[in-house]
Structure 1
């Protein structure tokens, strides 16, 4: 009586071998699905790519959904709106920036060297980012006169990064000189802002390198009783 599967020339059943091949073929697909980031991570990843390369206002929700391969219902359940996604995008950028700055400072015990790390990070980042400037400055410039609460929160998220940079520099100046000088921290931020804007305009890190040199001179020549 014939069985349900075919046999080989030596009489052995070939069906198990086919079954194994079929199961093996399914494993990579299952593994990819299992290792795929969740909807929130995919939405943030797509938003980060699109917002940083093309801008915020020009990118619509449908474009983000297609790029992230996420349903519209997921976006609204996770973030509530595109503006909330923009806020989360800026907060994630800020978190990443702080973590990378702290890592760069691991082998920089001197406060002046940790301040210069702000400039070094921008010098390292700008060529790879196609000289797009500061993503935080770019975001704030897209909402120069916010009309809604969510637009105010977008500007606030962008400005929070700058506030952290300034306050961190002020704390490091206190560590170096023994007193807090907001004026000196403001001057360093002007150097950093100008260097970033110049690099974006000229598509070269030279303005940032000049800004770094100005910051270095200020740090090493500021009088001990600098105006507070």
Structure 2
């Protein structure tokens, strides 16, 4: 109902074609946002686990985490989408919904990069902090939770927020497996035979939608980085 009211308002301002087009793109944008949040939350959880494994005292766990990160950083996101959204359903003769394939692919992609961001933040903390905790009898887990992580979080936040932009832009590739996001509907409209649906008009409008999603995050990331640098000084 609210979507219909919004579309009617856009039609009254921009006319039938462009009003309906903007209404469709606006509705599709919510699916881009949902996929971005799913990938960011899922990737954050998996990435956090890999970060802890990467700095753990156990060599096998460190090797496993390193192999995971290396593997999913080396595979292009487009290839992951092809494999999970097109390859797996054909090879195993199972139905994989586009949203599930896109969510898993982006989660794997996001987790590998966030893990490296957070590992870098943890390892930027002076070794004396680790040694101090160990000297008073803290275990590795206690040292990490109570001493190292609170300091590393402040360092990692700007980069983490900034990486969210890459996740949002990465969702635009999900159209190849028929996920109903902003890019897919923009492509469908641009490929239609309707008057005014020229690609050189539609795709810049789609780009503006992505800009509206990413620009606030870019500003927030820069603000947090400046604030962190000021506090450190």
Q: TM-score, normalised by structure 1?
A: 0.30
Query: Which fold has the larger relative contact order, with Cα–Cα distance below 8 Å and residues 6 or more apart in sequence?
Result: 2
Larger Rg: 1
Q: TM-score, normalised by structure 2?
A: 0.29
